[in-house]
Amino acid sequence: MDRLDNTVRPYAWGSTTAIPALLGTEPTGEPQAEMWMGAHPGAPSRTGRGTLAAVVDADPEKELGAASVARFGPRLPFLLKLLAAGAPLSLQVHPDLAQARAGHEDEERRGVPLDAPHRNYKDANHKPELICALTEFDGLCGFRPPTETADLLDGLGIASLKPYADLLRAQSEDAALREVLTAILTADPEDMSRTVTETAAACDRLGGAYAPYADIAHHYPGDPGVLAALLLNHVRLQPGEALYLGAGIPHAYLDGLGVEIMANSDNVLRCGLTPKHVDVPELLRVVRFEAGDPGVLRPEASPDGEEVYDTPTDEFRLSRYVLPEGAAAHDLTLPAPQILLCTAGTVRTGEHELTPGRSVFVPAGEQAEVSGSGTLFRATVRL
């Protein structure tokens, strides 16, 4: 079992205080957006045996187990993070596995450099993800029903938004959402900037259901993503609640601290709220133009005290244990790799004492007995 020393990524949207508060360290004044736990080559966790990526590469079957290697290959299939949003992240979607493989193969064939700003597919994997709130957590997830969005736009009283509202009412759901998002992302930049500025002022004035979008516009003045965001459901998670983001679902995280787990991939197609490249044709090919409830997840408790966040993804499985004072020890041994992360209290496992923000990697088959008083998240795979 390896104690992990993890890298904190200083992305501009990160909170300056949330991760330091959890870790019990002093803020640096710089944003601390994500703490990565895993073997991703961009920032692999460090162990006493070297980076976790090097440890896995040296003996994949010993560290991951034969079943995981046979199913997912000789690499850790998931990446676990602490995510602390102090400002909205980019509005984005992720491809499914077939789209990722085809897109990666195409860009490789065309010789698009991996670090090129316009590169869409850095790898051949999909990127389903799950975010579980540790504090109140605001986000956008999936399309709102078109007629409800039309009513929301009409309520702003802005003439330049009327054509979008009319389209949303006149077409079938798929066609309405597709046409309006296309129109927003391909509009004349100067005209769009003026419309976004008017929309931001109206959202700020009206508040209520419009307040989240006013805050987005404050961070991204003139960005067409502000109007794209108005097409999506606003969600406020309470601690312990979660959202699952499958392929093609437009989403953005706005504010809050959470535990995030995802398949080990960097494939992102952006549709706004970012200065980075937006590939409109490819985005429109990947987005699922379906409205619906964002589907807030609550954990399902098992008799042994494990609370599981059930998703259709095999590359990861996230659960938590809320351990009361004096509770019996739990045996978490599995024939699969695990990362254990403490987010409250003090939890003991093997020779390691975990306090908030501290984590360990447990190789497949390694005995993992946990005790103490606190909250422990368990990341593994579904075999």
Active site amino acids: 270
Q: What are phi and psi of 55, to 5 degrees?
A: -60, -45
Q: In b/e form, how buried is each residue of 30-66, taking b as 16+ CB within 10 angstroms?
A: ebbbbbbbbbbeebbbbbeeebbbebbeeebeebbbe
Q: What are phi and psi of 13, to 5 degrees?
A: -80, -5
Nearest to 347 by CA among 302, 308, 305: 305
Q: How many CB atoms lie within 10 A of CB 107?
A: 18
Q: Which amino acid does the sequence have at 90?
A: S
DSSP state of 110: T
Contacts of 363 (CB under 8 A, 6+ apart): 1, 62, 63, 64, 337
Instruction: Answer whether 206's CB lies under 8 Å from 156's CB.
Output: yes
Q: How many CB atoms lie within 10 A of CB 29?
A: 7
Distance CA 313, CA 297 (A): 14
What's the start-to-end Cα distance of the chain, in Å?
Answer: 21
Distance CA 193, CA 196 (A): 5
Distance CA 83, CA 255 (A): 10
